[in-house]
């Protein structure tokens, strides 16, 4: 009933929110005599804030139209490469009529960014994508709102998430011959599982795997997010936070973890900070500080836009990652698209270089949780494993904002380039589909028999720590040394 109550309340509030918006414009219109009264700006600001607090936030757009590559403006065309029931593989195709720039674009590495499915849309990584487009061909997983997925599409499990990631990796490999994977927060766990399973089968794995601020081992430096998951039972979550989608949506009847509950949890972590932010917005409107007010609107247009997650996926993530720690305990079994059950063995990864990134002040994925992947991936040579701790960065700072652009991205570029072919081989876009899991297994077994090793072996010199002034602000930790 809670979901229905929430939707009823939202429907009732919608006209009042629209009315508040109209009133804000009325009191700020210089042609309106009421706008000349002493309290007009305060009244307008109050109505504007009321509108922001009561409005419904839809999925934002990436809105990336151009990026600069070597000081040349390059046009961006956003399109869906693969459309799955619960996810779209979205590509940001780059275009240029400058011959030298076009040649450079073709030679740059291919990167799959796996966005979180943890309440927010993939557009939360807009800054990540825009920055990466300067030097990479970029694809991203754009997860769908579960309340918009009809019941006829079936359920969505954590295993399905892993199978999606594997399919996307194979697709990029079939088109370009290789790829790099970057996962941010929640997907670090399923991405590590996906690559592990591919390695165990002898399939070709990505050249590099970058994991940023994720709960690989949630037992280390537990945060409030971890504590909630461990203090409540699986049954508690199932009985208290799972609801069915109301009838007025395409996914009516689907069991989901509603986005509004996730949003409430986000705000509850730092209520004072959000209250002060809204009050500052009110004062900026009064002062006429349009730049600060617009910055507030952009941030909360993204932050307040949340999606529902399928109940099976959500509950299995809680149980697997935060309660039973199956990945680090070596007890995680995954069901593939062919119905076979396989054990996740990160130690089988041999030919994928690993970079882990953590924020010093991360209050969502605590210190050491992401770095735990270094120990799990023991099959990767030590020279191919690196760890980066970003001083002064919180959770969002490692993939968005100044610290991401100035501290993390330069190191990530260096890491990817040092493990890329000297000259990337890029074919023209083809219409062929990626190999299926069964086909991949068959090819991998054949290669393994004839070569005596796993497919996809690559070599690359590990990136050396930067000695620039900017890099001094960042702690680069060699995994051969103890923290």
Coil, helix or strand for 93?
A: strand
Question: CA–CA separation, 103 vs 94, rounded Å?
Answer: 12
Number of C-beta neighbours around residue 194 at 10 A? 28
- pLDDT for residue 472 is more than 60: no
Q: Which residues are paired to 390 by β-bridges?
A: 359, 474
Q: Contact at 8 Å (CB) between 326 and 320? A: yes
Average pLDDT for residues 164-184, to the nearest whole number? 97
H-run or E-run covering 142: strand 137-143
- pLDDT for residue 470 is more than 90: no
Q: Contact at 8 Å (CB) between 122 and 140? A: yes
- pLDDT for residue 445 is more than 90: no
Average pLDDT for residues 283-310, to the nearest whole number? 93
Total residue length of the chain: 483
| Residue range 242-255, pLDDT digits in tens | 999 999 899 999 99
The pLDDT value given to residue 4: 87
> At 270, is the pLDDT very low, low, confident or very high (cuts 50, 70, 90)?
confident
The pLDDT value given to residue 423: 54
In terms of Cα–Cα distance, which of 67, 147, 51 is closest to 108? 67
Chain centroid offset of residue 233 CA: 27
User: What is the overall mean pLDDT for the chain?
Assistant: 87
For 293, the token pair is 């007010």
| Residue range 374-419, pLDDT digits in tens | 999 999 999 999 999 999 999 999 999 999 999 999 999 999 999 9
Orientation angle between helical segments 290-303 and 271-287, nearest 10 degrees: 150
H-run or E-run covering 271: helix 271-287
For 450, the token pair is 């004839």
Average pLDDT for residues 216-226, to the nearest whole number? 90
- pLDDT for residue 460 is more than 70: no
Question: CA–CA separation, 379 vs 357, rounded Å?
Answer: 19
- pLDDT for residue 157 is more than 90: yes
Query: Which residue segments constitute the domains of the chain, with CATH numbers given?
Result: 2-56+259-303 (no CATH), 70-236+308-478 (3.40.50.1820)
Coil, helix or strand for 211?
A: strand
Question: CA–CA separation, 354 vs 376, rounded Å?
Answer: 11
- Answer with the residue of higher pLDDT: 421 or 348: 348
């Amino acid at each position: 009933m809670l979901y229905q109550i929430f939707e009823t309340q939202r429907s009732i509030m919608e006209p009042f929110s629209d009315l508040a918006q109209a009133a804000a414009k009325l009191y700020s219109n210089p042609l309106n005599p009421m706008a000349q009264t002493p309290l007009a700006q305060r009244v307008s600001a109050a109505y504007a804030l009321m509108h922001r607090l009561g409005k419904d936030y839809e999925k934002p757009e990436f809105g990336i139209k151009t990026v600069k590559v070597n000081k040349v403006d390059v046009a961006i065309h956003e399109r869906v490469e693969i459309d799955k029931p619960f996810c779209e593989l979205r590509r940001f195709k780059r275009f240029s009529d400058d011959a030298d720039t076009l040649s450079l674009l073709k030679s740059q590495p291919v990167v799959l960014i796996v966005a979180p499915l943890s309440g927010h849309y993939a557009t939360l990584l807009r800054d990540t994508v825009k920055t990466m487009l300067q030097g990479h061909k970029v694809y991203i997983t754009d997860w769908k709102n579960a309340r918009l997925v009809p019941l006829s599409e079936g359920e969505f499990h954590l295993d399905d998430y892993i199978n999606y990631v594997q399919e996307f990796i194979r697709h990029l490999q079939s088109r370009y011959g290789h790829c790099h994977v970057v996962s941010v927060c929640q997907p670090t766990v399923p991405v590590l599982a996906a690559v592990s399973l591919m390695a165990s089968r002898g399939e070709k794995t990505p050249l590099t795997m970058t994991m940023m601020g994720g709960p690989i081992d949630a037992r280390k430096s537990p945060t409030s997010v971890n504590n909630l998951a461990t203090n409540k039972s699986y049954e508690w979550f199932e009985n208290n936070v799972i609801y069915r989608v109301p009838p007025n949506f395409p996914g009516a009847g689907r069991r989901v973890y509603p986005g509004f509950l996730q949003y409430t949890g986000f705000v509850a972590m730092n209520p004072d900070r959000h209250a002060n932010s809204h009050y500052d917005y009110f004062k900026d409107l009064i002062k006429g500080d349009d730049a600060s007010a617009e910055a507030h609107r952009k941030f909360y247009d993204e932050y307040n836009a949340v999606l529902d997650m399928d109940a099976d996926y959500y509950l299995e993530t809680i149980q697997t990652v935060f309660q039973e720690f199956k990945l680090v305990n070596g007890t995680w079994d995954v069901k593939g698209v062919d119905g076979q059950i396989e054990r996740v063995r990160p130690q089988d990864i041999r030919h994928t270089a690993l970079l882990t990134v953590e924020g010093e002040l991360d209050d969502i994925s605590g210190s050491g949780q992401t770095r735990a992947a270094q120990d799990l991936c023991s099959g990767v040579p030590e020279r191919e494993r690196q760890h980066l701790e970003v001083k002064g960065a919180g959770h969002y700072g490692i993939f968005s904002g100044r610290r991401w652009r100035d501290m993390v991205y330069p190191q990530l570029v260096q890491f990817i380039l040092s493990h890329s072919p000297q000259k990337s081989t890029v074919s023209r876009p083809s219409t062929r589909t990626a190999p299926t899991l069964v086909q991949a297994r068959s090819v991998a077994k054949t290669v393994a028999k004839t070569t005596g090793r796993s497919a996809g072996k690559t070599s690359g010199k590990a990136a050396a720590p930067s000695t620039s002034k900017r890099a001094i602000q960042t702690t680069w930790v060699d995994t051969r040394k103890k923290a």
